[in-house]
Chain A
Amino acid sequence: MKFEDIKNLLIDKFGPEVIVGEETSGLQPALLIQPDKIAEACLELRNNEKTYFDFLACLSGVDYGVDENIFGVVYHLSSIPYKTQLTLKVKKYHDRNQTGLPSFPSVCSVWRTAEWHEREAYDLLGIYFEGNPDLRRILLPDDWEGYPLRKDYKVQEYYHGIKVD
């Protein structure tokens, strides 16, 4: 199924507001999905016989920079029967306040592999995933402060009384 057809399929199912935008300039076109609808859209793309994206290859959290203050998640889907690939993106503004985290719906219920990927995004970028049953740090120690892959990250001065370089 072509990129345009997938776009139309999602519009038919969820209405035109589900697609916020699209990026077609690069080698791999991407669909920008409305953040609240991402889990439903993924479930539809996995279950629909025409698309059948049964394999979540990669899920990456992204911090788009301190000027824009936009956080996003990028989903790389691939379909084993059709041998096709698709990129989905969600983006959200977040002002980097200390009390809250940018939050997106979890796609754990669609692909179980998302659970660890989302934990990694939470761990390194501080993106919260609603509905992830086991959201805790995965690569860093549980008591680490801050989110290292954020663009404004400053390493903590001391960790367990030892200076961090």
Chain B
Amino acid sequence: MINPKTSSYKTRHEQLIAEAQPNEMILNMGPQHPSTHGVLRLELITDGEVVKEVIPHVGYLHRCFEKHAENLTYQQTIPFVDRMDYLASMNNSHAWVMGVERMLGLDKEIPKRIEYIRVLVCELNRIGSHLIALGTYGIDIGAFTPFLWCFRDREHIMNMLEWASGSRMLYNYIWVGGLFFDLPVGFEERCKEFIDYFKPKMKELNELLTDNQIFISRTANVGILPLEVAINYGCSGPMLRASGLKWDLRRVDEYSAYPELEFEVPIGKGLMGTTGDCWDRYKVRIDEIEQSVLIIEQCLERLTKDLKRTPDFDPRAKLPKKIIPKAQDFYIRAETPRGELGYYFIADGKSEIPKRVKARAPSFNNLHVISEISRGVLIADLIAIIGSIDIVLGELDR
């Protein structure tokens, strides 16, 4: 039935709410609901237990990062960048720093040791971030133990990164042209110990959660995201790879030290159900942790052998005194645990402050697709879908 009033609606949201049927209920999930992973509000139009439509409302954590960035120098913005995706601060600042270095033409001059330390801390952070994603996903579905196990293992990573940077979550460690400090003496050895400790723990986690029949029943064949929909909605990272596409910017763009490192790009294969379902997205993260472990081992190998620390090594040696890029536009993209993080800079060539910065947050695009893949699912399955997207609201709302 076509509603004659349709044309008078200004937005689709207005139309969806106005055209809800008498047997349907409009239900607000969030913004304080624990399973929405932060302050996200989902407006649901439900018919009994069946979700007819999902309308996400975001912005509760908005602090206009882009306006801040227009008032601070490139170096001063790094702590703000860390606070966007607070679970993967290293990856965020790495992307920012790479963008600024390329605009300055510095990127070829960065010493190899610094590049390897950057990759090392980024991959440690990626493991930490994925552990949160997996642990909280378990708790969303009703498995409490994996959550505690993941946090226990992540704590080791937090401690190590705190040792290196002085802060537990928001590091401000990677600087334009170098690093805040060299790694503390003994870091490589401790990191090796952690890797040896961590590998069997992943096996335990797989036994407990990945192959758990209850978990599979809750996630397989739920929230299937077909590949063409994923691309059209701009999904990236594990979201896109779970739909079966080998697309990892670490491999596509070959930035930093990644071309010299060997690792696989895991994709979803639909082992338990259909390619692109919630279980696949979960599994891609599990596989990525294993790949990150491999990368860390290779980095440690290099950092303790040919790129060994020397007493005169200064990680701040290449730090530019004044960061004034030439007048240009530049878009940098990098792979964070959540997907393609992009920064678009407009530099005017005269000042140390960018004229405009836009951050392309992966969670922002990944969440958009939720209304497409949750039509007709049960409310309980919607929880499984939100968890599998792995959003970080700090980045989504910026």
Interface of A with B (CB < 8 Å)? 23, 25-28, 30, 54-58, 60, 62-63, 65, 74, 76, 80, 83, 85, 87, 111-113, 115-116, 124, 133-141, 148-149
Contacts and interface: CB of A to CB of B under 8 A. Distances in A.
Contact of B365 (A74, A76, A116, A136): A116
A138 B58 contact: yes
Interface stretch (B35-43, B60-68, B173-181): B60-68
Given A62-B346, A138-B58, A138-B59, A28 B331 contact: yes
B330 A27 contact: yes
Interface in B330-380: 330-331, 333, 340, 342, 344, 346, 355-356, 358, 360, 364-365, 368, 372
Interface of B: 10-13, 58-59, 62, 64, 66-67, 70, 102-103, 231-234, 245, 247, 252, 326, 328-331, 333, 340, 342, 344, 346, 355-356, 358, 360, 364-365, 368, 372, 397-398
Contact of A60 (B245, B340, B344): B344
A115 B247 contact: no
Nearest to B251: A83
B284 to A, nearest CB: 17
Nearest to B235: A113
A111 B356 CA distance: 24
Instruction: Rank and list the top 10 A-B pairs by shortest CB-CB distance, nearest first.
Output: A113-B234, A26-B328, A60-B358, A139-B59, A58-B360, A134-B12, A139-B62, A133-B12, A134-B11, A116-B368
Contacts of B64: 124, 139, 148-149
A73 to B, nearest CB: 11
A116 to B, nearest CB: 5
A57 B252 contact: no
7 contacts: A57-B333, A57-B342, A76-B344, A112-B232, A113-B365, A115-B368, A149-B67
Nearest to A133: B12
Contacts of B58: 138-139
Given A113-B234, A140-B59, A58 B342 contact: yes
Nearest to A61: B358
Contacts of A65: 355
B354 to A, nearest CB: 12
Nearest to B62: A139
A149 B232 contact: no
A62 to B, nearest CB: 5
A126 B392 CA distance: 26
Given A57-B331, A113-B233, A135-B11, 18 more contacts: A26-B326, A26-B330, A27-B103, A27-B330, A28-B329, A28-B331, A58-B331, A58-B358, A58-B360, A76-B360, A80-B231, A83-B252, A116-B365, A116-B368, A124-B66, A134-B12, A136-B11, A149-B356
